[in-house]
Chains A and B, each alone.
Chain A
């Protein structure tokens, strides 16, 4: 059964230095508040898994939390580069970053296999590309047709972290809209943390919504506006301007560190973070 706790204690109890951690959310419902809490608590040497390590992992990598990244597309969507990711890979700042690189289809298959408790996922993919030689993928032969397919090892993170719209007081979680690989990452992980916009008395049935029963989740924590600058369908929109601004904030090491010190290390929680952003936007 999920315990309803603060995000601080969820991260303190469930995430250790050196863990394999997957924060998922495909453009929508990205668990930024949880990423910030990992930075505040100074987690280090993490292996970070994520299909699209966008701004949330740029922050974690630049803050020195990561030793390895497992991913398939590392950019600032619609904007361009992730400068902290690039600085780590190109110049080893703030530390060298090991890469394990897949395609989206390979990552999705690996999460699916993890959720299904299978050792590997299967797909038609990687063939003919240079990616195959650079990542953990093997060719396997279909026992029925003889077709050669790609096998990717299952993702089995120590901790899976997602953001959702709501949970009830028993810790049942509901999310809807673009749901990405969130169900798979929670089911594939040994432990899981779900942050939510709000905790309600009763979940309202919604067609197409995913429900994660309380007993599949370890900790549920309220984190209102906890996906920002990503969005929560039905709650608030994507802060497109922030993604554009992130390019300027993150291009320079000192500017990045100053931003993290002020907005993440310098705030107690997601509510203080938003208060600060609001103050700054009034001042601007």
Chain B
């Protein structure tokens, strides 16, 4: 454990998510922070983690972070490369994936996500990229991990559009802490990152955020984790969360 190392909020998020992956987990990985987290797990405590990118690469082992989900290195290092219809039918819908990472522009208290539109669908204030793989990832993997920065704009009482359902969301990793669903499915704050007060997380949430009794503090990234992380980052680390 390092008491002196400095790290970014994104790095804390990647580390917190990576720690939750177990060796051998089969992970459906999107680009950006999820890719960083899954590759970090593979480089540290979970070398047997299987990285699946929706472009069709199964068991990819990139040496540095790809910019897109279809970079050549993913295909070159994969155990198998399959077509896109096969990926979604046999592998995702076939329930062969343990963990699916999702990001979004908005999340509600039940882990439902919006990555489609801000404002009305027909007259959008901001047209977002859309669901992509998310609607089926959210209902086909065993556990959904969500990674996104926490703010009242993102953590909302009511989604502008429901792109994917929250039933299988097991953890939400933010720049402030970690949220997990209770027995009724509502998210509650179970951990805060170093230097964050639970009140800060509550005021960055657009609904009355539950705080778990005995909310803990997330262990800061170790030197080993930070070194592994920085070896993976192609441009020396950056603003992954917005991607």
Q: Interface of A with B (CB < 8 Å)?
A: 26-28, 51-52, 71-75, 77-82, 85-86, 89-90, 101, 103-106, 108-109, 111-112, 123-131, 134, 177-181, 183-184, 208, 231, 233, 237-238, 240, 243
- Other A-B contacts than A77-B69, A106-B135, A231-B72, 20 sampled, CB-CB below 8 A, are A27-B68, A28-B70, A85-B127, A101-B130, A103-B133, A104-B136, A105-B89, A105-B135, A108-B84, A108-B87, A108-B88, A109-B85, A123-B93, A128-B139, A129-B164, A177-B81, A178-B56, A178-B74, A179-B56, A180-B70
Say whether B135 contacts A131, CB under 8 Å.
Answer: yes
CA distance A85 to B128 in the complex (A): 10
Q: Interface of B with A (CB < 8 Å)?
A: 31-32, 54-57, 66-72, 74-75, 81, 83-85, 87-89, 92-93, 116, 121, 124-136, 139-140, 161-165, 167, 242-243
A105 interface neighbour in B32, B68, B92, Cβ under 8 Å: B92
CA distance A71 to B128 in the complex (A): 13
Say whether B55 contacts A129, CB under 8 Å.
Answer: no
30 A–B contacts, CB within 8 A, in A order: A27-B69, A73-B131, A74-B129, A75-B128, A75-B129, A78-B32, A82-B129, A85-B127, A90-B125, A90-B127, A103-B133, A103-B134, A105-B88, A105-B92, A108-B89, A123-B88, A124-B136, A125-B136, A126-B135, A128-B162, A129-B164, A134-B121, A180-B55, A180-B56, A180-B70, A181-B84, A184-B83, A184-B85, A208-B81, A238-B72
Minimum CB–CB distance from A83 to chain B (whole Å) comes to 10
| Residues in chain B near residue A82, CB distance under 8 A | 129
| Residues in chain B near residue A85, CB distance under 8 A | 127
- Which B-chain residue is minimally distant from A123 (CB atoms)? B93
| Residues in chain B near residue A177, CB distance under 8 A | 72, 75, 81
CA distance A250 to B102 in the complex (A): 27
Minimum CB–CB distance from B97 to chain A (whole Å) comes to 12
| Residues in chain B near residue A89, CB distance under 8 A | 124, 127
A129 interface neighbour in B72, B87, B124, B131, Cβ under 8 Å: B131
B131 interface neighbour in A27, A81, A131, A179, Cβ under 8 Å: A131
CA distance A101 to B128 in the complex (A): 12
- Which A-chain residue is minimally distant from B136 (CB atoms)? A105
- Which A-chain residue is minimally distant from B82 (CB atoms)? A179
